[in-house]
Chains A and B, each alone.
Chain A
Amino acid sequence: MATLYTVLTDFTQWLMDLIAAILDWTKLGILSDLGDWLQSAPVVDFVTTLLVAVIYLITVMMFALCFIWQERKFLGRFMDRRGTQVGVLGFFQNFADGIKVVLKEHIVPKDSDHALFEMAIFTYLASTFMLFGCIPFSDNFYVIDVNLAVLLGIAIFAFGPFSILVGGWASNNKYTLIGGMRAAAQLIALEIPLLLCVVSVVVLTGDLSFVGIVAWQEENIWLIFPLCIGALTFFIAAIGESERIPFDLPEAEAELVEGWATEYGDIRWGLQMASDYFRAYILCALFTMLFLGGWAGPEFIWAEAWFLAKTFIVFFFFIWVRAATVRIRTDQILKLGWRRLLPLAVINLLIAVALKVAEVF
Chain B
Amino acid sequence: MRIEERTYTKADHLRPTGYVLKSLIVTFKGLVRATKNRPCTVLYPWERLVYPDNYRGRPGIVLERCIGCARCARDCPNRCIEMVEVELPAGGKAKRPQVNVGRCMMCGNCAETCPVNAMIVTPEFELCSYSRADLIFDPVKLQYPHKPGYEVNYEFALLSEMKKGGEVRTYAKNDPNVHDNVVLDAPKCISCSRCAKTCPAGAIEMAETGELNPKTKKPIKRPKFDTTKCVVCEQCIEVCPKSALSIKEVL
Binding site for B on A (CB under 8 A): 74, 76-82, 85, 320-321, 323-325, 331
Which of chain A's residues have a CB closer than 8 A to the CB of B35? 77
Minimal beta-carbon separation of B150 from chain A (angstroms): 34
**Do the beta carbons of B39 and A78 come within 8 Å of each other?**
no
Question: Which one of B26, B30, B31, B34 has the highest number of Cβ atoms from chain A below 10 Å of its Cβ?
Answer: B31
For A323, the closest partner residue in chain B by CB is B27
CB distance from B6 to the nearest CB of A (A): 12
Q: Which residues of A contact B28 (CB under 8 A)?
A: 320
Partner of B41, one of A74, A78, A80, A323: A80
Across the A-B interface, how many residue pairs have beta carbons closer than 8 Å?
A: 43
Q: Do A80 and B27 form a contact, CB below 8 Å, given A85-B43, A325-B20, A331-B3?
A: no
* Docked-complex contact A77 and B31, CB < 8 angstroms: yes
Interchain CB contact (< 8 A) of B31 among A74, A85, A321, A325: A74
Contact B24–A78 (Cβ < 8 Å): no
B3–A78 touching, CB < 8 Å:
no
Mask: chain B, 1-41; 1 = CB below 8 Å from A; 0 = not: 00100000000000000011001101110110111000111
Q: Which residue from chain B places its CB closest to the CB of A322 in the assembled complex?
A: B27
Task: State which of A76, A77, A79, A320 has its C-beta within 8 Å of the C-beta of B24.
Answer: A320
B-side interface mostly: helix
Shortest CB–CB separation between residue A281 and chain B, in angstroms? 21
Alpha-carbon separation in the docked complex, A85 to B39 (Å): 13
List residues of B whose CB falls within 8 A of some A CB.
3, 19-20, 23-24, 26-28, 30-31, 33-35, 39-41, 43
Q: Which residue of B lies closest to A316 (CB)?
A: B31
Q: Is the CB of B30 within 8 A of A78?
A: yes
Minimum distance in angstroms from A343 CB to a CB of chain B = 14
**Closest Cβ of chain A: how far from B152's Cβ, in Å?**
35
CA distance A30 to B17 in the complex (A): 75
- Bound: A77/B29 CA distance, A: 11
5 contacts between A and B (CB under 8 A): A77-B34, A77-B39, A80-B33, A320-B28, A320-B31
Whole-angstrom distance between the Cβ of A12 and the nearest chain B Cβ? 47
Tell me the complex Cα distance, A36–B20, Å: 65
Do B19 and A82 have beta carbons less than 8 Å apart?
no
Interface centre among A321, A323, A324 (most CB of B within 10 A): A324
User: Which residue, A81, A323, A331, has most C-beta atoms of chain B within 10 A?
Assistant: A323
Q: Assess the B40–A80 pair: CB atoms within 8 A.
A: yes
Which residues of A lie under 8 Å from residue B39 when comparing CB positions?
A: 76-77, 80-82
Q: B3 near A82 (CB under 8 angstroms)?
A: no
Report yes or no: B27 in contact with A78, Cβ–Cβ below 8 A: yes
The reply to whether A324 and B43 contact each other, CB–CB distance below 8 Å, is no
Q: In the assembled complex, how far is the CB of residue A74 from the closest CB belonging to chain B, in whole angstroms?
A: 7
- Interface pair A324/B31, CB less than 8 Å apart: no
Asked if A324 contacts B41 (CB within 8 A), the reply is: no
What B residues does A323 contact at CB under 8 A?
27, 31
Return the chain B residue nearest A236 by Cβ: B20
B3, B24, B34, B40: the one contacting A324 at CB < 8 Å is B24
Which residues of chain A are within 8 angstroms of B3 by Cβ–Cβ distance? 331
For the complex, give the distance between the alpha carbons of A331 and B4 in Å.
11
A81 to B44, CA, bound (A): 13
B31 to A78, Cβ gap below 8 A? yes
Closest to B22 in A: A324
Closest to A317 in B: B24
Contacts of B24 in A (CB 8 A): 320-321, 324
CB distance from B107 to the nearest CB of A (A): 31
| Nearest Cβ on chain B to A226's Cβ, whole angstroms | 23
When chains A and B are docked, how far (Å) is the Cα of A56 from the Cα of B67?
A: 78
Expressed in whole angstroms, the Cα–Cα distance for A85 and B31 within the complex equals 18
Contacts of B41 in A (CB 8 A): 80-82
Q: Is there contact, CB below 8 Å, between A320 and B43?
A: no
Q: Which residue of A lies closest to B24 (CB)?
A: A324
CB distance from B218 to the nearest CB of A (A): 80
CA distance A76 to B35 in the complex (A): 10
Shortest CB distance A239–B (Å)? 11
Nearest Cβ on chain B to A83's Cβ, whole angstroms: 9
| A-B interface, 4 closest residue pairs, ranked by CB to CB distance from nearest | A324-B23, A324-B27, A81-B41, A77-B34
Residue of B nearest to A76 (CB): B39
Contacts of B43 in A (CB 8 A): 82, 85
